Amino acid sequence: MHRTATAVIRFVLNTASRAAPRPAGALAFALFRRAGARAGLRPAEAALMRTARTETLDLDGTPVRVHRWGSGERPVLLLHGWRSRASRWQPLAEALLAAGYSPVAFDAPGHGDSGGRGSTILEYRAAVRRLRAAAGRPFEALIGHSFGGLAAFAALRDPDTARRLVTVSGISRFGFLTEGFGAQLGLRPRLETELRRRVERFLARRGEEGDVWSRFSASHRPAGITVPIMVIHDEDDGVVPVDQARHVMRSYPGQADLLLTRGLGHARILSDPGVVDAVVDFLTATATATATAPADSGVSADQRAG
């Protein structure tokens, strides 16, 4: 969001919340759900996207573009982050293809070439369910970046969804979404509370009642997720702090591997050769991977939580 636009929105919301907190909360919630400007296709991604078998999935009336590569054997589902798109997986998708996997990726509602104005974790989960049913087998892995990492944990609550999980720059606490949004706009505490109330009401109307802040976090009932997990995060990530990765590691001791990088930030980590190699090694290994990237890749450590 542009700085000037952010400043204007902050002023309008906080000013309105003093006299009319509920209408201001409604506006904050509408902005919270909306993805905003769509990320464009980069020249380096175009060649891979031209080779994809592309189809449209009807997700409750919203057309969602799905991209497939490979023979269909050993499918891996890739979940992009907020304000991103499926094509951002280009380096990893090419490496997975070379290793004999069949990558599958979709543009979430409000992103890429899909319809709609924005997504929630429910749309991500619904898309995973539909694609899992179409595959007729568990995915070899779910791989999620940023918000896609949080969505991957939610999807794995369904049995036999995937055999492995990889999160890259992943969000692990559901509450981080409203906290980060509130911090970006400088929302007053009263308005942030109203935003949380509206998120809870929105989810309750869709059958998700109770403590949604716990239920949609990665740490919710960790015994229910038994697959090997790889957590990749950059220590200099200015969008999703590395403590989100450490939250996962505390919740899955002995089950999750942590690969820390330095200097790659939130987005460039997706295309780093060392990170790409580490993910492929993790997927192809018969046990939880312990991958070490080349010294010049930006990777600083590969640590197991215990």
d(CA 179, CA 34): 16
Digit-coded pLDDT (tens) for 21-38: 788 888 889 889 888 889
Most distant CA pair in the chain: distance in Å?
60
**Residue 256's beta-bridge partner residues?**
229
Assessment of whether the complete model's pTM goes beyond 0.85: yes
Percent of the chain residues topping a pLDDT of 70: 88
CA distances from 203 to 125, 138, 191, 197 (A): 13, 27, 19, 10
Residue boundaries of the structural domains of the chain: 1-34+175-215, 44-173+220-304
Position 274 confidence tier, pLDDT thresholds 50, 70, 90? very high
Contact criterion met (CB below 8 Å) for 92 and 143 = yes
d(CA 202, CA 206): 7
> Domain 44-173+220-304 sits in which CATH superfamily?
Alpha/Beta hydrolase fold, catalytic domain (3.40.50.1820)
Digit-coded pLDDT (tens) for 179-217: 999 888 888 888 899 999 999 999 999 999 899 999 999
> What 3-state class would DSSP assign to 121?
helix
Task: Count other Cβ atoms within 10 Å, centred on residue 2.
Answer: 8
